Amino acid sequence: MAQPIKVVVTGAAGQIAYSLLYMIARGEVFGKNQKLVLHLLDIPPMMGVLEGVVMELADCAFSLLEHVVPTADPEVAFKDVSAAFLVGAMPRKEGMERKDLLAANVKIFKVQGQALNKYAKKDVKVLVVGNPANTNALVCSHYAPSIPKENFTAMTRLDQNRAKAQIASKLGIAVDNVKNVIIWGNHSSTQFPDVCNATATVDGVKKSVNEAIGNAAYLQNEFVVTVQKRGAAVIAARKMSSAMSAAKAACDHMHDWWNGTNPGDFVSMGVISDGSYGAPKDVVFSFPVEIRNGKWSIVQGLQLDDFAKSKLQVTGKELLEEKEEAMTVCSQD
């Protein structure tokens, strides 16, 4: 058994964390031989609910879980953590766009960035789930200057999982037979789900998704819109935002970041942009990445058609606008 690592989950009394904590404690993220100490952060009014979550974790009798620390104090929560799932944020409600959340939520991530800077390990891997995730990750990084910028990521894996599932359903195949669907840009309704470099294995034969589907109009219209608006569709049906699927995606994201990707497979992550593929620099932009030895790198040399390039421009513009607005809000404190 490896020495225990400390992992923090914020918004730990909330819906996403309820599924997420179970998956982490089972060993589905850091491995079946990695002992864990879980730090659970939430706001003071939620401490009673959080105590119930702690009881349930104890009642699960997880062999990997050495200790659980429930707290409302960022200093306690972020002390010596190796991984951080930043889930806690005001949730999006029906009719709201992510940018409506921006003013309230960026202040939360400013405070958490400052706490990570002071108390966390300098090689901490930070995954921002709370929306607007890309811009929250940027803000968090900005206020944690002692931690490398590449250690802050935003979750677009839920969008990738949604896109894979849509393609698999359309083709009547298992989701594992769909590879290398990409999410570009912002985790918002401007994101671009892209299958130009994706493959599907149908009846044992591997082919491009474009060839397998054979319907460019579907892939440029209905498919894109379905993935872009899936979160809103879940809210309309459940009257609450995605929780189980968001938790699964957070686990997928951190698992691959921690353990690496398979050769030839790439995954979508919101990472600090170096300007690849014409994306604006110094925003957190979702790219296809490969991961080796705990380090991600943007997959280079992929072909983008004019349709894709136009979509990347739209989502890049939104991220620049969000960045400007977020930094203005943060500077007012």
Q: How long is the chain?
A: 333
List all residues 6 or more positions away from 284 whose beta carbon is below 8 Å from its beta carbon: 133, 134, 135, 137, 138, 141, 152, 153, 154, 270, 271, 272, 273, 319
Q: Which two tokens stand for residue 125?
A: 């891997």
Asked if 202 and 218 count as a contact pair (C-beta separation under 8 A), the reply is no
Q: Encode burial over 62-99: b for 16+ CB neighbours within 10 A, e otherwise.
A: bebbeebbbbeebeebbbebbbbbbbbbebbeeeeebb
Parallel/antiparallel/unpaired status of strands 267-272 and 205-208: unpaired
105 annotated to a ligand binding site: yes
Token match 């789930």: residue?
Answer: 129
Q: Which two tokens stand for residue 305?
A: 């058609």
Cis upstream peptide for 132 (omega within 30°)? yes
Beta bridge partners, 208, equal 199
Asked if 249 and 161 count as a contact pair (C-beta separation under 8 A), the reply is yes
Q: Catalytic residue numbers?
A: 187
131 annotated to a ligand binding site: yes
Tell me the DSSP string of 290-326: EEETTEEEE-------HHHHHHHHHHHHHHHHHHHHH
26 annotated to a ligand binding site: no
Half-sphere exposure of 76 (CA within 13 A, CB side): 11
Residues marked as binding?
Answer: 42, 92, 98, 105, 129-131, 162
Residues marked as binding for NAD(+)?
Answer: 42, 105, 129-131
